[in-house]
């Protein structure tokens, strides 16, 4: 929650991504997060205006789960991305492919459409890498943001 702008209250929200939204996303962008319930955090100012949104996701990778947080500003631009957790056996791979080479920083300040396109471009890399998985999840949060908040 420290990734959200201060000065207001933070609300936890649960929303369902319905089948229609999944189909719409696949038609528009070629992929979508799975149908189901998603939890995210909204920071609102004292007058109720939107300050920022934070998605905290768990990504299944081989034999473990990677924690990822993606923050957005009120205009729907990525404001921060952090890896929250990773199984010890994948730390070296994650560091080399994602954290140490500025990969995450390439998504900062991009709009939701730009994030989705960058994630799709990264998804074309072969063989499948941890970097593709992270990029896909960042793109998925942008699709969720569009579906839930219209940003």
- Contacts of residue 22, Cβ cutoff 8 Å, sequence gap at least 6: 32, 33, 34, 35
Are residues 12 and 39 in contact, defined by beta-carbon separation less than 8 angstroms?
yes
pLDDT digits (tens, 9 = 90+) for 132-151: 899 999 999 999 999 998 87
How confident is residue 129, by pLDDT bands cut at 50, 70 and 90? confident
Q: 55 in helix, strand or coil?
A: strand
């Amino acid at each position: 929650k420290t990734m959200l702008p201060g000065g207001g209250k933070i609300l936890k929200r649960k929303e369902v991504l319905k089948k229609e939204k999944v189909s719409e996303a696949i038609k528009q962008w070629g992929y979508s997060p799975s149908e189901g319930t998603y939890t995210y955090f909204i920071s609102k100012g004292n007058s109720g205006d939107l300050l920022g949104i934070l998605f905290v996701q768990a990504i299944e990778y081989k034999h473990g789960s990677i924690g990822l947080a993606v923050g957005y500003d009120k205009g729907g631009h990525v404001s921060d991305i952090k890896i929250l957790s990773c199984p010890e056996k994948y730390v070296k791979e994650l560091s080399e492919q994602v954290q140490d080479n500025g990969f995450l920083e390439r998504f900062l300040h991009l709009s939701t459409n730009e994030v989705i396109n960058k994630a799709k471009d990264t998804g074309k890399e072969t063989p499948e890498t941890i970097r593709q998985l992270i990029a896909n999840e960042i793109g998925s949060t942008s699709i969720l943001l569009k579906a839930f908040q219209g940003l």
